């Protein structure tokens, strides 16, 4: 399947800055957190769905930490 990409747009082929990716991941993480809280308040919540959301939230947390380390690398002593 071919995706339509606007190659005339100057930023079409440029990678997204790490800071922007970090912001997007943090937003998704917060949204998942709110969704999990809402689901857990329901008496008959789908436990499988909750586990999947928690797993996705952990994956996002790991990606956030990776990007933070990429943006601000460790300084050797």
Residue 2: band (very low, low, confident or very high) from pLDDT cuts 50, 70, 90: very low
- Report how many domains make up the chain: 1
Does 61 fall in a domain?
Answer: yes
Is the pLDDT score of 7 beyond 80?
no
Does 12 fall in a domain?
Answer: no
Does 13 fall in a domain?
Answer: no
Section 7-12 average pLDDT: 55
State residue 16's pLDDT score. Answer: 84
Does 11 fall in a domain?
Answer: no
Whether the model pTM is above 0.75: no
Three-state SS across the chain?
Answer: CCCCCCCCCCCCCCCCCHHHHHHHHHHHHHHHHHHHHHHHHCCCCCHHHHHHHHHHHHHHHHHHHHHHHHHCCCCCC
Does 41 fall in a domain?
Answer: yes
Does 7 fall in a domain?
Answer: no
Does 4 fall in a domain?
Answer: no
State residue 63's pLDDT score. Answer: 96
Taking only the tens place, the pLDDT of each residue in 13-51 is 678 888 999 999 999 999 999 999 999 999 899 999 999
Host domain of residue 44: 18-70
State residue 14's pLDDT score. Answer: 73
């Amino acid at each position: 399947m071919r995706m339509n990409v606007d190659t005339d747009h100057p930023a079409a082929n440029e990678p997204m800055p790490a800071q922007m990716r970090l912001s997007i991941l943090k937003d998704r993480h917060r949204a998942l957190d709110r969704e999990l809280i809402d689901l857990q308040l329901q008496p008959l919540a789908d436990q499988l769905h909750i586990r999947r959301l928690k797993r996705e939230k952990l994956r996002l947390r790991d990606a956030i930490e990776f990007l933070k380390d990429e943006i601000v690398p460790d300084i050797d002593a």
